[in-house]
Amino acid sequence: MIKKYLLIFILSIFATSCSKKVDFTATIKGGSPLERIEFIEASGVATLPLVNVGIGKDGKFTGGFDAPNDGMYVITYAGKENIIYLKQGQKLEISGNGETFPQEFKIVGDAKNNNDFLQAVQKFMQNYTKNLDLQSKMSKDEKTFLAALKKIEADLMKSIDENGEKFSADKKVIEWKKNDIRTGMLSIFPQYEGFKKQSSGNPAFKISKEFADYEESLQKDKELLVKEHPAYRTYLLTKMSEDFSKFAEGKTKGLTIQPTTSELFAEYLKKRTELSDTAKDYLLAYIISQADLQPTATQEVQDKIGKIIDADIKDASIKKDLKTIQFAIGGLKVGEALPEASLMTADGKPFKTADFNGKPTLLMFYASWTPYIKDQTVPILNQVIGFYKKDMNFAFINFDDNKEQFTKTSSALMKGIPGTNYYAEGGLTGDFAKKFGIYGFKLQPSFVIVDKNGKVASRLFFNLGDPEMVTALDKATGLTAPAVQQPEIQLQNDINAPKAEAPTAEAPQNAPAPAAPATK
């Protein structure tokens, strides 16, 4: 009997230690119920949230997600973000103020020391760099500027070591922060070389060997840097931007149909034999996600990207992440039958997606926190319904966190609008969301047309006045609509969040690499 209980005890410890789940509870004083909290893996190629949760009226929110690994995660709220170090199996207790969260927050529990360390280093860096005029230092001679850079590195590394000891931070998070500093400093080198070329009037200007050696010394473990630091990937892309531009120009000259940037870059990487397969995968993934894999991408572009992912991405996890992003952005393909997924009407009656058959249907995806629906979407929606209602069904599918919230939202926002309101059970974590690839950014709201046979008849749209959408509506119903206009909506989501631009064939970028979220 003792052996039996001992075995159970050992198994329970093993199960706990192997858990990937990170559970969190938080109180954000003055937090808005219209805002959402998201956690995103900071080092991966996927920018999709691992979880999206709302804040209650009391400022509290709870949730959990499977963490891909121990490491850095971005926590976002109300257009702001910060970095947080998490371990698989942790339980977080977070507190903050709605005005400053997540740029400032407190953590209790086993995640406290590492994140107190990160915030202390960040505060030191903000004070240290406040009066650090690098632009004027660049104008000095190279030897003086190099000495200034080395002093900056030494001062920042000293702060990391001191705070690491003070807060008893893990060695892994200390080393990550040091590499974060190194990648941030590496972004200075392309800037410096470009500045010298311009100020000296010498386009052939090259930095000295001593300067180049210092640049190389900041890249002690290139494989680790490219895996864990997106800013390092941007640095590498910036360094090869000019060369890629020449390559792309030669490949596209005289072509009537221009290849995508991803196609050109995949071919370009084949000649960069000094790069490892790991580096090539991460760099190509960056270009794919930033240059071509966008919500407005046509099916033709989506198909091209799919072939590149299959043929040129070697790492299985990166390939999987890109496929996930592609589905999240592109959704179901035109001509594909709708997968069966549960919906529920406001009075609690179940509904199946197969029942959309008989008439073409316009599906609208939304939630209570949809930013544009009341003032911008509803007036145009009424116009669209008024014209097509005899030949088309309208289904408004809500992704709130629970049915109670759906009932309030549908009554407040959609009252009196012809069509049927449905709740996607489970919201963003439910069966419908998974099968349709629904994430927070698609609830602007967004729209897709289904034909009378229950097959997808259009790509996903975010603008009811999009001429392509009007054409798709006309095709589905056999009608010809008058022009419908709607102000263009700037999507606010993880996929389209402002980032350093990737080099393109038309206009290669030479922008500095962005700092990691914690140092923005």
In sequence order, the β-bridge partners of residue 25 are 62, 93
Query: Is 495 within 8 Å of 325 (Cβ atoms)?
Result: yes
Identity of the amino acid at 7 = L
Nearest partner of 283 among 298, 268, 301, 302, judged by Cα: 268
In three-state secondary structure terms, 152 is: helix
Task: State in Å, rounded, how far the first CA of the chain is from the last one.
Answer: 58
Lookup result for tokens 């998490």: 86
d(CA 153, CA 218): 10
- From residue 452, give the alpha-carbon distance in Å to each of 375, 476, 477: 30, 8, 9
Residues 438 and 472 reside in one and the same domain = yes
Q: Which distant-in-sequence residues (6+ apart) come within 8 Å of 452 by Cβ?
A: 357, 358, 359, 360, 476
In three-state secondary structure terms, 212 is: helix
Can you list the pairs that 499-503 forms with residues at least 24 positions away whose Cβ atoms lie under 8 Å?
Answer: 499/290, 500/234, 501/290, 502/237, 502/261, 502/286, 502/287, 502/290, 502/291, 503/237, 503/238, 503/240, 503/241, 503/244, 503/245, 503/265, 503/287
Residues 119 and 82 reside in one and the same domain = no
d(CA 389, CA 477): 10
Identify whether 483 is part of a domain: no
- The pair of structure tokens assigned to 222 is 């290139």
Residues 261 and 316 reside in one and the same domain = yes
Identity of the amino acid at 463 = N
Residues 194 and 306 reside in one and the same domain = no
Which of 64, 83, 110 is the last residue before a domain boundary? 110
Residues 308 and 371 reside in one and the same domain = no
Q: What is the CATH number of the domain that holds 429?
A: 3.40.30.10
Domain count, the chain: 4
Q: What are phi and psi of 491, to 5 degrees?
A: -65, 135
Residues 23 and 131 reside in one and the same domain = no
Residues 210 and 115 reside in one and the same domain = yes
Query: Is 445 within 8 Å of 372 (Cβ atoms)?
Result: yes
Kind of pairing, strands 51-54 and 71-77? unpaired
Kind of pairing, strands 393-398 and 420-424? parallel
What b-and-e string marks burial along 67-79, b requiring 16 or more CB atoms within 10 Å of the CB?
bbeebbbbbbbbe
Q: What is the pLDDT along the chain (520 residues), one digit of tens a residue?
A: 444 444 444 343 434 445 789 999 999 999 988 899 999 999 988 789 999 999 988 999 999 999 999 999 999 999 999 999 999 999 999 999 999 999 999 999 889 999 999 999 999 999 998 888 888 888 888 999 999 999 999 999 999 999 999 999 999 999 999 999 999 999 999 999 989 888 888 888 888 999 999 999 999 999 999 999 999 999 999 999 999 999 999 999 999 999 999 999 999 999 999 999 999 999 999 999 999 988 888 889 999 999 999 999 999 999 999 999 999 988 899 999 998 888 999 888 888 877 887 899 999 999 999 878 888 899 999 999 999 999 999 999 999 999 999 999 999 999 899 999 999 999 999 999 999 999 999 998 999 999 999 999 999 999 998 999 999 999 999 999 876 454 444 433 333 343 433 343 333 333 333 233 333 3
Residues 120 and 142 reside in one and the same domain = yes
Q: What is the CATH number of the domain that holds 51?
A: 2.60.40.1120
Query: Is 76 within 8 Å of 50 (Cβ atoms)?
Result: no
Identify whether 97 is part of a domain: yes
Residues 91 and 125 reside in one and the same domain = no
Residues 451 and 348 reside in one and the same domain = yes
Nearest partner of 232 among 172, 270, 278, judged by Cα: 278
Nearest partner of 43 among 279, 228, 192, 273, judged by Cα: 228
d(CA 270, CA 273): 7
Expressed as residue numbers, the domain containing 325 is 242-330
